[in-house]
Structure 1
């Protein structure tokens, strides 16, 4: 598989992924997980969408980077598949769109989530916010998407923009702008942060991130995700140099320290959260 550098692709080109002059909106799906237990509230059907412009050093799915490839599916095809597992969802479960970066395919997301809500299916967006912009027509699409999104899992890679750029290839100004907009517009969210030794596991940055999260509204949960090396094999198979070669996962003490500095115990809304109908 040849990986294409999509990091420099113009935004207006990326906005057209999946859009065809006639017929249904097409989504490019990397893979499906029918019984996801860590991808939002409850048990969820997870569609991992293809495409991402970030190049996170710890990414464990480099095979999701290419844009405009993958299994072509319509929203109805995804939802028909998902509904086979509805019995497992209970009051909080439903579907989650992850990636890659889901927002690369915002037209497909909007079509999928709109139709999901019409079927009384709870929707969850898993995003790092990289494509966010207030430029039109993208911003209007995003605002409409949020109206049919019950909750978002937002991954803040690094609170410091310069360090964020070193870690992912882009700064974080637009990402924090997205989070601020969500906070001000009643969008429920979980905040996630990957703890990586020698990259994000520094007390000063963790403290700054914890203080930032305190300023936000509608944060239902804060999670520390320990870095792991499960994706290293994919890099070798794809012929890509793994950027964090030799860096081991954080110790249990460092994970606990991060949880304390991010005040994860203070965010308990997820325990009683329910989608609004």
Structure 2
């Protein structure tokens, strides 16, 4: 089984629990205006890698991964679903924690069996929800969010922990009403563990220049940590509102962590 990767990071610390090896797969159908990895878009680019080669790289640093594991991200990881399933199966058989970092855009409810196979070998899903409003989502990414929201519900049926990520972009995703709606939607996910509202940054801008691509947000300033914290608080209020109506009362230790 061969996958096509953009790159491999041996010591990732923000893509799941502990220190992790992070595999960035090549290819993505989304065109997020704030994407900082446009070099992952083209599925024909990148480098081939086998599962044995991934394992050999992991094994060299395995002592560092004691409380971590393997994260597969992108690009969009679901574009190479058979490879991800076989890779996760290989690592799970060796007792390694597996994490899927995805936008969920490729989810197809008609391919239930293959997604069920993915869930069987996945320990954690980090799901990026770019925008809760579908019209805004299309404007931001070029794609509808409907399959993404369906995938969130699908994951939740398999008792797999879910971390939600949302990028806060001034003047674009900077909207309290939609943050609240995002919280109200993810409040139904019984396996939700963490909400991470990330401040938009411009570190990928130079890649666009190198590739001769116009950067879509060249007039948009980076988001402050204060704005991201505000978003986290509003999303948490949306979660609470949903659960007050539909669930028994829950305790919240902070605006970002759901207990």
Q: Same fold (TM over 0.5)?
A: yes
- The Cα of 1:251 is off from its aligned counterpart by 2.4
Which residue of 258, 267, 271 maps to 2:257?
267
2:221 is matched with which residue? Answer: 248
2:109 is matched with which residue? Answer: 134
Return structure 1 stretches of 4+ with deviation > 6 angstroms. none
Q: Do residues 179 (structure 1) and 152 (structure 2) align? A: yes
Which residue of 34, 56, 61 maps to 2:37?
61
- The Cα of 1:188 is off from its aligned counterpart by 1.1
- The Cα of 1:141 is off from its aligned counterpart by 1.4
1:39 is matched with which residue? Answer: 15
Count of residue correspondences: 242
1:120 is matched with which residue? Answer: 95
Q: Is the 8 A contact 2:232 2:256 kept in 1?
A: no
Q: Do residues 210 (structure 1) and 183 (structure 2) align? A: yes
1:156 is matched with which residue? Answer: 129
Q: What are the superposed Cα offsets for residues 94-137 of structure 1, whole Å, 9 maximum, x if unpaired?
A: 0100110011000110110010111111100000011111123x
- The Cα of 1:211 is off from its aligned counterpart by 1.4
Which residue of 108, 113, 118 maps to 2:83?
108
CA distance in 1, matches of 2:220, 2:170: 7
- The RMSD of aligned alpha carbons is 1.2
Structure 2 gap segments, 5+ residues each: 237-253
Q: TM-score, normalised by structure 1?
A: 0.85
Q: Do residues 26 (structure 1) and 2 (structure 2) align? A: yes
1:50 is matched with which residue? Answer: 26
Q: Do residues 237 (structure 1) and 226 (structure 2) align? A: no
Q: Is the 8 A contact 1:219 1:267 kept in 2?
A: no
CA distance in 2, matches of 1:37, 1:190: 15
- The Cα of 1:266 is off from its aligned counterpart by 5.6
Q: Is the 8 A contact 2:126 2:162 kept in 1?
A: yes
- The Cα of 1:268 is off from its aligned counterpart by 4.6
Q: Is the 8 A contact 2:233 2:256 kept in 1?
A: no
SS state of the match for residue 4, structure 2? strand
1:17 is matched with which residue? Answer: none
2:51 is matched with which residue? Answer: 75
